[in-house]
């Protein structure tokens, strides 16, 4: 799912990339309620268009974390992602690049929602 997310960004398919983001990530871009989803998508799209020329995932590894929400049975896990990326302009926050850590929720139980990225950061 993480590779698919960044492949969508690389292909400038921001609607597909948006579909890989869970509610906590969507809220970062302003989608704080269902009626604000289009606002969040517009902000996300604008941000990616402004900053990312291309991105390719070169490695994904489990990241150790003291995050109390981590749960193998619920499919909640942090990953360290390594990129080969080119930027048009630096992101405003942090190091100015895509963050290296992504938290996913991929509940393995039947009937669970699809896997989503629910957080990102410079550390897990």
Which domains are present in the chain? 2-121 (3.10.450)
- Using alpha carbons, select from 123, 122, 119 the residue that is nearest to residue 24: 119
Mean pLDDT of the chain: 92
pLDDT tens, 23-50? 999 999 999 999 999 999 999 999 999 9
Token pair recorded at residue 117: 């990225």
Residue 81 neighbours by CB under 8 Å, 6+ apart: 2, 6, 57, 59, 60, 100, 101, 102
State the pLDDT confidence band at 94, using cuts at 50, 70 and 90: low
**53-71 pLDDT, tens digit each:** 999 999 999 998 888 888 8
Strands of 101-105's sheet in order across: 52-62, 76-87, 101-105, 116-121
Per-residue pLDDT band for 92 (boundaries 50, 70, 90) equals confident
DSSP character at residue 65: -
Residue 74 main-chain phi, psi, to 5 deg:
-100, 0
């Amino acid at each position: 799912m993480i590779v698919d997310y960044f492949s969508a960004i690389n292909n400038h398919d921001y609607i597909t990339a948006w579909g890989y983001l869970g509610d906590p990530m969507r809220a970062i871009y302003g989608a704080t309620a269902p009626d604000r989803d289009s606002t969040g998508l517009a902000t996300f799209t604008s941000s990616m268009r402004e900053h990312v020329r291309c991105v390719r995932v070169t490695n994904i590894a489990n990241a150790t974390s003291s995050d109390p929400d981590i749960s193998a049975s619920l499919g909640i896990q942090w990953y360290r992602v390594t990129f080969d990326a080119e930027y048009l302009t630096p992101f405003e926050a942090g190091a100015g690049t895509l963050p290296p850590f992504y938290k996913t929720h991929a509940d393995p139980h039947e009937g669970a929602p699809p896997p989503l990225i629910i957080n990102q950061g410079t550390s897990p």
